Chain A
């Protein structure tokens, strides 16, 4: 047993932090795209749009029902064999695509529940003054649903940041991939992965702090 090599960890810190931006970029892009897709899916589900509703249910069922790692391999290694124009797809794009589709399926269901949870009489009130479905969704229902869905969506975002580590299996050198390479060179696996774990942890803690502030702000209108 050796003592924790703190000097090595301190030296490794700036190297690993250099890969953090890529991790956050993949999660950020995935989150924005997943939110947009999830909102569309949720509206299709809430309005029970004929045809589209069944498609949305199939989509959600598949992407919730299969492991993210399987989906990533399917997009990166599998799809280019069928759709040859995808041969050039790189690991980063495949990861963002996988995260988007996978997490949008989960997020769609939370958003749908939040939309359905908005008091029906407010919808009627909006209609009664002549607002269209689109206007009442945008201005009355979605803002309130956002408040309800925010804690869950933030949890998915946190999950997504951690899930970017799977990109390493597609040959992307992000935080996890970089740690693996460094550790393989130094044989100090414990120090390297402990440091990686701490970096993920700190990022998530910062986000949790932001989440609490955001929720406080969103709840302002509902204080008695």
Chain B
């Protein structure tokens, strides 16, 4: 189980969000939607401690920590239980696709190189890039790079994978292959939180859609309900705008 309780984040004077509560069951898939600049990505980054929350409790599996006063050891433990997929892929430019995937298994989990490579090749197979094991990121397409980014997150065997707008930086031609891989993970009941503007994906894959605006969770529910019968006026306005451009 993953739980956020009272998570608050400020940048200087500016409060990004305050007192956010969110709970996920294992195997649950949540898609977070909402206008740009409402703190969706920042919230996701707090769960992985890429941003330091200013208050609240984070619980991932059997680890529960006071977000503001987390120790170095707790932060590392939290990061091992959460994996992150970045908008701009953020692959290690000095490492091959296989080594990008294996890096964490070797350095963090302490697997031998042989074990890590065996698992790494399995993951490459699953993300459809078995033939690119020795390719460096610079020689891969955006879609391939993002699939390696997802592969790196899969390798972490984390309790939850956090996707931060994983298709936003992609040329349209590569979006589908990345979404297809994410759907595949969803079918395997990989717990995930996805911040995305892909409404079609949210509708098909999410167990629950969370709508955020101005640093608050306005409403949440199964996609069937939230998309067809939004309760809050802000949700209605947002969905009208988005769905007018991209009907689903």
Q: Which A positions have Cβ atoms within 8 angstroms of B?
A: 119, 121-122, 124-132, 135, 139-140, 143-144, 147, 220-224
Contact of B94 among A128, A131, A135, A143 (CB under 8 A): A143
For residue B113, CB closer than 8 A to chain A, the reply is no
**A129-B156, A223-B139, A224-B138 known; A119 vs B93 contact (CB < 8 Å):** yes
Give B248 Cβ to nearest chain A Cβ, in Å.
31
Contact of B93 among A130, A135, A144 (CB under 8 A): A144
Cα of A222 to Cα of B140 in the assembled complex, Å? 11
Can you give 23 contacting A-B residue pairs, CB < 8 Å? A119-B90, A119-B93, A124-B84, A125-B149, A127-B49, A128-B79, A128-B83, A129-B79, A129-B103, A129-B104, A129-B153, A130-B80, A130-B108, A130-B156, A131-B107, A139-B107, A144-B93, A221-B93, A221-B96, A221-B136, A221-B138, A222-B93, A223-B136
**A124-B50, A130-B79, A130-B108 known; A139 vs B103 contact (CB < 8 Å):** yes
Asked if B86 and A121 sit within 8 Å, CB to CB, the answer is: yes
**A221-B136, A223-B138, A224-B138 known; A130 vs B94 contact (CB < 8 Å):** no
For residue B63, CB closer than 8 A to chain A, the reply is no
Contact of A121 among B76, B79, B90, B94 (CB under 8 A): B90
Q: Inside 8 A of A224's CB, which chain B residues have their CB?
A: 138-139
Asked if B93 and A128 sit within 8 Å, CB to CB, the answer is: no
> On chain B, which size bracket covers the interface?
20 to 34
For residue B91, CB closer than 8 A to chain A, the reply is yes
Cα of A220 to Cα of B107 in the assembled complex, Å? 24
Q: Taking chain A's interface residues, is the majority helix, strand, or loop, or is none over half, making it mixed?
A: helix
Give B224 Cβ to nearest chain A Cβ, in Å.
32
Asked if B93 and A127 sit within 8 Å, CB to CB, the answer is: no
Give A217 Cβ to nearest chain B Cβ, in Å.
12
Cα of A221 to Cα of B134 in the assembled complex, Å? 10
**A125-B92, A144-B93, A144-B94 known; A131 vs B108 contact (CB < 8 Å):** yes
Q: Which residue of A lies closest to B78 (CB)?
A: A130
Q: Inside 8 A of A122's CB, which chain B residues have their CB?
A: 90-93
Give B140 Cβ to nearest chain A Cβ, in Å.
10
Cα of A144 to Cα of B90 in the assembled complex, Å? 14
Interface string of B118-146 (1 = CB under 8 A from A): 00000000000000000010110000000
Q: Inside 8 A of B50's CB, which chain A residues have their CB?
A: 124, 127-128
**Extra 6 A-B pairs, beta carbons < 8 Å, given A124-B90, A130-B79, A130-B108:** A125-B84, A128-B48, A129-B153, A140-B92, A221-B94, A224-B139
For residue B208, CB closer than 8 A to chain A, the reply is no
Asked if B136 and A129 sit within 8 Å, CB to CB, the answer is: no
For residue B152, CB closer than 8 A to chain A, the reply is yes
Cα of A160 to Cα of B91 in the assembled complex, Å? 37
Q: Inside 8 A of B88's CB, which chain A residues have their CB?
A: 121
Cα of A143 to Cα of B88 in the assembled complex, Å? 21
Give A89 Cβ to nearest chain B Cβ, in Å.
41
Q: Inside 8 A of A128's CB, which chain B residues have their CB?
A: 48, 50, 79, 82-84, 86
Asked if B136 and A130 sit within 8 Å, CB to CB, the answer is: no
Asked if A131 and B104 sit within 8 Å, CB to CB, the answer is: yes
Asked if B108 and A129 sit within 8 Å, CB to CB, the answer is: yes
Q: Which residue of A lies closest to B87 (CB)?
A: A121
Give A127 Cβ to nearest chain B Cβ, in Å.
7
Q: Which residue of A lies closest to B77 (CB)?
A: A130
Contact of A129 among B49, B96, B138, B152 (CB under 8 A): B152
Give B149 Cβ to nearest chain A Cβ, in Å.
8
Cα of A121 to Cα of B86 in the assembled complex, Å? 8
| From A122, A126, A128, residue with most partner B Cβ within 10 Å | A128
